[in-house]
Amino acid sequence: MLLRIRVSLPDRPGGLGQVARALGALGADILQVTVLEREAGRALDEFTVNWPAAAGEVTDRLSGAPGVRVEGYWPTRELPGSAPDYDVLTQVAADPARGLATLVDALPALCGADWALALADGVVRHASLAAPTAFDLPDPPLRPAARAGADLRLMVLPVAELHIVVARSTGPAFHRAELHRATRITDVVAKLSGRTPETTHP
């Protein structure tokens, strides 16, 4: 099972190695490590791993390492070393008229999310697989924003007359690094598609 695991750990020499050793001892194959932030003596890292056990064991089995806190984990389809952003942009450049629909279809895999959709005036204009056919977005933001509720973690990306919503039901809230990446690719797709985004980068 391919998982992304977000871990908070002490920002000191050997801290990352400690988590890597713990993952190795649990039989996980580490494919990629991304440092999301470092502040106040702690680091926030994301590990992409092949996890051999039941996903529910991640927190229990990793949290035994001193100072380590599992912020969340969720399945991912993005293989480390691939370049899905470029693949999406290539598809959009080949057919700009479908640019935003192509983006909505691709965002779940790009963002480790369950689904994405594009709303205009409260109506779903395009939806990826597994997305609802109707969605209420109270108080749509003017800028890209991440929101977390009891059931869903959302990114909302305003572009032209639309709001693109990206959602996942498990794992932690979208990090600002994820929001920044999604915003950048949305802006590029909007330009290729001839849309004028109403966004500024977070």
Instruction: Report the top-level CATH class of 2-75.
Output: alpha beta
More confident residue, 33 or 1: 33
More confident residue, 125 or 2: 125
Instruction: For the beta carbon of residue 177, count every other beta carbon within 10 angstroms.
Output: 15
CATH T-level assignment (fold) for domain 84-192: Beta-Lactamase (3.30.450)
Q: What is the pTM of this model?
A: 0.83
Q: H or E segment at 85?
A: helix 84-94
pLDDT at 164: 97
Q: Per-residue pLDDT for 202 more than 80? A: no
Q: Per-residue pLDDT for 56 more than 70? A: no
Tell me if 62 sits within 8 A of 22, measured CB to CB: yes
pLDDT at 55: 63
Domain boundaries, the chain: 2-75, 84-192
What's the DSSP call for residue 122?
T
Taking all residues of the chain, what is their mean pLDDT, rounded to a whole number? 88
| 2-75 against 84-192: fold identical | no
The average pLDDT across 116-135 equals: 96
Determine the residue type at 47: F
CA distance 69 to 62: 8
